[in-house]
Structure 1
Amino acid sequence: MKFQFGVWLFLCISSRFNVSSGSEAGAAPHGFAPVIIVPGDGASPIDAKIKAKSNCDSRKEWFRMWLNVEDIMLGRFPCTAKNMMLNFNLTTNTSHVQPGVETQIPGWGTAHTVEYVDDHAFARIFHIAFDAAYLVQAMVSWGYTRDVSIRGAPYDFRFAMASQPEWCVRFKLLVEDTYVANNNRKVSIISHSMGGFFATWFLNRQSQVWKDKFIHSFIALSTPWGGSNKALQSITSGYNFNVPLVNVRDCKMIQRTFESNYLMMPNYLFHKPNHIFIKTPKYNFSLNPEDLDLYFEASNNKVGKLIYEKIMRENRLKRTKGGMLFEHPRVKTYCFYGVGLPTPGLFYYPKNFPDQQPVIQKVSGDFTLVHESLRGCKIWEEDFVKNNASDEKLFTEVHELPGVSHIGIFGDPRTQEKIKLILSDL
Structure 2
Amino acid sequence: METKLRCLPRLLLILFTFSVVGQTAVLSSTESHQRYVKHASGVHPVVLLPGNTCSQIEVRLTDAYEPLSPLCAARKGDGRWSRLWKNNTAADAEVPCFADQLRLVYDHAAGDYRNAPGVETRAVSFGSTRGFLADDAADKELCMGNLVAALEREGYRDGETLFGAPYDFRHAPAPAGQANRELSLFRRRLGALVEHASKANGGMPVILVTHSQGGYFALDFLRRSPLPWRRRFIKHFVMASTGAGGFVLSMQGLATSIAPSSSSYSSPSPSDVLSMPSVGRTFASTFTALPSPVAFGDDTPLVVTRNKSYAASDMPAFLAAAGLPPYAVRLYETRALPVALNLGAPVVPVTCVNGFGMPTPEMLVYRPPGRPRARPRGGVRRRRRGRELGKYSGA
TM over 0.5: yes
Q: Could you tell me how far apart the structure 2 residues matched to 1:160 and 1:362 are?
A: 33
Q: Given the alignment of the two structures, is residue 307 of structure 1 paired with residue 331 of structure 2, yes or no? A: yes
User: What SS does the aligned partner of 2:355 have?
Assistant: strand
Which residue of 59, 65, 73 maps to 2:75? 59
Kindly provide the CA deviation profile for residues 145-175 of structure 1, in whole angstroms up to 9, marking residues without a partner as x: 1111110111111111342201111111111
Moved more, 129-138 or 343-352: 343-352
Q: Could you tell me how far apart the structure 2 residues matched to 1:198 and 1:185 are?
A: 23
Q: Could you tell me how far apart the structure 2 residues matched to 1:232 and 1:188 are?
A: 32
Note if contact 1:226-1:270 (Cα within 8 Å) is conserved in structure 2.
yes
Which residue of 237, 250, 256 maps to 2:281? 256
Tell me the CA shift for residue 212 of structure 1: 1.6
Note if contact 1:312-1:318 (Cα within 8 Å) is conserved in structure 2.
yes
Q: Which residue of the partner structure matches residue 295 of structure 1? A: 318
Tell me the CA shift for residue 336 of structure 1: 0.7
Note if contact 2:273-2:279 (Cα within 8 Å) is conserved in structure 1.
no
Q: Given the alignment of the two structures, is residue 178 of structure 1 paired with residue 200 of structure 2, yes or no? A: no
Tell me the CA shift for residue 203 of structure 1: 1.1
- 5 Å-filtered alignment, 1:200-215, equals 200-215=219-234
Kindly provide the CA deviation profile for residues 2-36 of structure 1, in whole angstroms up to 9, marking residues without a partner as x: xxxxxxxxxxxxxxxxxxxxxxxxx9862531000
Q: Could you tell me how far apart the structure 2 residues matched to 1:240 and 1:231 are?
A: 17
Note if contact 1:227-1:267 (Cα within 8 Å) is conserved in structure 2.
yes
**C-alpha spacing 1:287/1:359, structure 2 compared with 1 (3 Å):** farther
Q: Which residue of the partner structure matches residue 23 of structure 1? A: none
Tell me the CA shift for residue 364 of structure 1: 6.0
Q: Which residue of the partner structure matches residue 276 of structure 1? A: 301
- 5 Å-filtered alignment, 1:92-107, equals 92-107=110-125
Q: Could you tell me how far apart the structure 2 residues matched to 1:261 and 1:62 are?
A: 26
Tell me the CA shift for residue 317 of structure 1: 2.1
Q: Given the alignment of the two structures, is residue 46 of structure 1 paired with residue 60 of structure 2, yes or no? A: no
User: What SS does the aligned partner of 1:274 have?
Assistant: coil
Note if contact 2:296-2:312 (Cα within 8 Å) is conserved in structure 1.
no
**C-alpha spacing 1:132/1:172, structure 2 compared with 1 (3 Å):** same
**C-alpha spacing 1:84/1:248, structure 2 compared with 1 (3 Å):** closer
**C-alpha spacing 1:99/1:362, structure 2 compared with 1 (3 Å):** farther
Which residue of 330, 337, 346 maps to 1:329? 346
User: What SS does the aligned partner of 2:312 have?
Assistant: coil
* Structure 1 stretches lacking a partner, 5+ long: 1-26, 320-324, 353-357, 377-399, 401-426
TM-score by length of 1: 0.67
Tell me the CA shift for residue 89 of structure 1: 3.1
- 5 Å-filtered alignment, 1:85-234, equals 85-114=103-132, 116-118=133-135, 123-124=136-137, 131-162=143-174, 163=180, 164=182, 165-234=184-253
**C-alpha spacing 1:53/1:189, structure 2 compared with 1 (3 Å):** same
Q: Tell me the number of residue pairs that the alignment of Structure 1 and Structure 2 aligns.
A: 326
Give the aligned CA root-mean-square deviation in angstroms: 3.4
Q: Could you tell me how far apart the structure 2 residues matched to 1:29 and 1:252 are?
A: 52
Note if contact 2:255-2:322 (Cα within 8 Å) is conserved in structure 1.
yes
User: What SS does the aligned partner of 2:364 have?
Assistant: strand
**C-alpha spacing 1:190/1:308, structure 2 compared with 1 (3 Å):** same
Which residue of 312, 331, 343 maps to 2:360? 343
**C-alpha spacing 1:177/1:250, structure 2 compared with 1 (3 Å):** closer
Q: Could you tell me how far apart the structure 1 residues matched to 2:100 and 2:112 are?
A: 18
**C-alpha spacing 1:76/1:318, structure 2 compared with 1 (3 Å):** closer
Note if contact 1:34-1:186 (Cα within 8 Å) is conserved in structure 2.
yes
Q: Could you tell me how far apart the structure 1 residues matched to 2:292 and 2:384 are?
A: 10
The letter for the 1-side match of 2:359 is P
**C-alpha spacing 1:128/1:148, structure 2 compared with 1 (3 Å):** closer
Q: Could you tell me how far apart the structure 2 residues matched to 1:90 and 1:372 are?
A: 42
Kindly provide the CA deviation profile for residues 87-111 of structure 1, in whole angstroms up to 9, marking residues without a partner as x: 1234543222112221111111012
Q: Could you tell me how far apart the structure 1 residues matched to 2:111 and 2:50 are?
A: 27
User: What SS does the aligned partner of 2:117 have?
Assistant: coil
TM-score by length of 2: 0.72
**Fraction of identical pairs, as percent:** 26
Note if contact 2:45-2:197 (Cα within 8 Å) is conserved in structure 1.
yes
Kindly provide the CA deviation profile for residues 386-426 of structure 1, in whole angstroms up to 9, marking residues without a partner as x: xxxxxxxxxxxxxx9xxxxxxxxxxxxxxxxxxxxxxxxxx
Q: Could you tell me how far apart the structure 2 residues matched to 1:280 and 1:103 are?
A: 39
Note if contact 1:240-1:251 (Cα within 8 Å) is conserved in structure 2.
no
The letter for the 1-side match of 2:118 is G
* Structure 2 stretches lacking a partner, 5+ long: 1-36, 175-179, 258-262, 389-395
Note if contact 2:173-2:217 (Cα within 8 Å) is conserved in structure 1.
yes
- 5 Å-filtered alignment, 1:397-416, equals none
Kindly provide the CA deviation profile for residues 56-85 of structure 1, in whole angstroms up to 9, marking residues without a partner as x: 4222431111111223x6453333122111
**C-alpha spacing 1:257/1:53, structure 2 compared with 1 (3 Å):** closer
The letter for the 2-side match of 1:296 is L
